[in-house]
Amino acid sequence: MQGKEFEEKNHARWTEYEEALAKLEKQGQQAQDVSRIPTMFREVCTDLALARHRMYGVLMNERLNGLVIRGHKQIHRRAGGTWDKLFRFVLIDFPVAVRAEWRLLIVCTLAFILPLVGVALAGFYWPDFSWIEAVLGADMMGDLDMMYGSPDDQISNLRDAYGSNFMMFCHYIWNNIGIDFRIYAGGIIACLGTLFFLIYNGVFFGAVVAYIHVACSTEAFYTFVAGHSSFELIAMVIAGMAGMRIGLGLLNPGRKTLRRSLMDAGKRSLPLIFGAAIMTFIAAAIEGFWSAQAMPPMAKYSVGIALWLVCIFYLGLAGKHISVRSAKKERSSIEA
């Protein structure tokens, strides 16, 4: 059979298929009966294979190739169920993923905590403004004075203007989630970007703590940060874990090819960075609308401690029964 005959014989079928596809692409499934499309799709697949084998020429091959690609796009779509997935993610997948990467959790926590404690202690023992200023800069020190200079509710006074809570909420989303994402992306440069950001933030916070203890009101500072500190700091460390994961995919592919290793690392990092973004969002909401409220310090401290405990128990325990069960199932299926 010649190319022309082949085309004439099948032309009607291809046109019908193409029209059905065009309708599906434009109007979705409701517009027509879609039950015949998979059959038509498979027929066109066969036509493409035949046309290639019989060398009917580039033009026909390209046309059939295009028709198959379009059908493939429509037929192999991913299932929905967004809300189910979100609940499952928050209740199970995220804490399980964090626990699975406990080694990275330790590394990232230390990369942040050690510089923080080191710089803060150095600040207590050698209260010399010159090097604190070198880290913080004069502007930042001025801001700290303005916010925490004395214990009489300066921050809540600063937030008196209408809408300023909302503004700060938006600012924290932009700034803090942005930092998480940069920590994450920096991981691909052989983990260096991630480690740099974690250590840098540790040094910076350490200098802030030192400066507050030396020059400002510690009560004003700790009552402000008590509420959101848990979510914000844990989220930053988890963003670091996600970044380290992709960096290790590059540095340590093991027995996989580099391409495969990067792909897997991307997949494994995803629940971590999503979870970190959600936690930072919660922190921004607390910091924007609650942390600056004028309240007795004890109330703030107890809420702060409670939220730390919530975070720790959530990440430590949530989804544990499920992962144990699925691990058992896996084992029994292997034995069977």
Partner 1 sequence: MATINGCPVDRIDTLQSIELAEGVEIHLRAAGPYVRVLAYLIDFLIRIGVCVVAYFLIMLFSLIVGGNVAQGLSMLIMFVLVFFYYVVFEAGKRGASPGKRVMGLRVVDTSGAPITFGQSFIRNMLRFADGMPIPTYGFGLLSTLMNRRFQRLGDLLANTVVVYDRLPLMHLASLPPALESSSPGVVLTREEQAALLAFRERGGMWSEARRIELADHAQELTGRTGQAGMSRLLGIAQWLGEKH
Burial group, residue 98, by CB count within 10 angstroms (0-12, 13-18, 19+): buried
3-state secondary structure of 40: helix
Among 189, 215, 285, 303, binds partner 1 (CB under 8 A): 189
Q: Is 253 a residue that touches partner 1 (CB under 8 A)?
A: no
The DSSP element (H or E) to which 141 belongs, if any, is: helix 138-148
Taking residue 177's Cβ as centre, other Cβ atoms within 10 Å add up to: 20
Of 58 and 298, nearer to partner 1 (C-beta) is 58
The kind and range of the H/E element at 237 are helix 218-251
With binding defined as CB under 8 A, does residue 72 bind partner 1? yes
Q: Does 112 bind partner 1 (CB under 8 A)?
A: no
CB 324 within 8 A of CB 269: no
CB of 201 to partner 1, least distance (A): 16
**Whole-Å CA distances, 30 to 23, 27, 119, 201:** 10, 7, 63, 53
> CB within 8 A of 236, min separation 6: which ones?
112, 179, 180, 183, 198, 201, 276, 280
Q: Which is nearer to partner 1, 72 or 320 (CB)?
A: 72
Binding mask 142-161 for partner 1 (x = CB under 8 A): -------------------x
The CB-of-188 to partner 1 minimum distance in angstroms stands at 4
CA–CA gap between residue 64 and residue 299 (Å, rounded): 70
- Contact between 293 and partner 1 per CB under 8 A: no
Which residue in 262, 278, 285, 303 binds partner 1 (CB under 8 A)? Answer: 262
Q: Answer yes or no whether residue 1 interacts with partner 1 by CB under 8 A.
A: yes
Among 201, 269, 280, 291, the residue binding partner 1 under the rule CB under 8 A is: 269
Cβ proximity to partner 1: between 108 and 242 the closer is 242
- 176 or 229: CB nearest partner 1: 176
State phi, psi for 244 to the nearest 5 degrees. Answer: -65, -35
Task: By CB under 8 A, tell whether 41 contacts partner 1.
Answer: yes
Q: 50 or 144, CB closer to partner 1?
A: 50
Region near partner 1 per CB under 8 A, out of 56-64, 95-103, 141-149, 229-237: 56-64
Interatomic CA distance for residues 286 and 311, integer angstroms: 14
**Nearer CB in complex with partner 1: 246/279:** 246
Regarding 267 and contact with partner 1 (CB under 8 A), the answer is yes
Q: What is the DSSP letter of 30?
A: G
- For the CB of residue 257, give the shortest distance to partner 1 in the complex, in Å: 11
Torsion of CA 279, 285, 286, 288, to 10 degrees: 140
From residue 283, alpha-carbon distances to 61, 68, 308 in Å are 56, 48, 12
Site for partner 1 contains 255 (CB under 8 A): no
CB distance 248 to 191 below 8 Å:
yes
Which run of H or E residues covers position 220? helix 218-251
Is there binding between residue 118 and partner 1 (CB under 8 A)?
no
DSSP secondary structure code for residue 29 in this structure: G
Q: 77, 134, 296, 298: which one contacts partner 1 (CB under 8 A)?
A: 77
How far CA 178 is from CA of 150, 170, 230, 247, in Å, comes to 31, 12, 18, 19
Choosing from 113, 185, 214, 278, the residue that interacts with partner 1 (CB under 8 A) is 185
Complex with partner 1: residue 92 or 173, whichever CB lies closer: 173
Query: According to the binding rule CB under 8 A, does residue 59 interact with partner 1?
Result: yes
Q: Which residues bind partner 1 (CB under 8 A)?
A: 1-3, 41-42, 45-46, 48-49, 52-53, 55, 57-59, 61-62, 65-66, 68-69, 72-73, 76-78, 161-164, 166-171, 173-174, 177-178, 181-182, 184-189, 193, 246, 249, 259, 262-263, 265-267, 269-270, 273-274
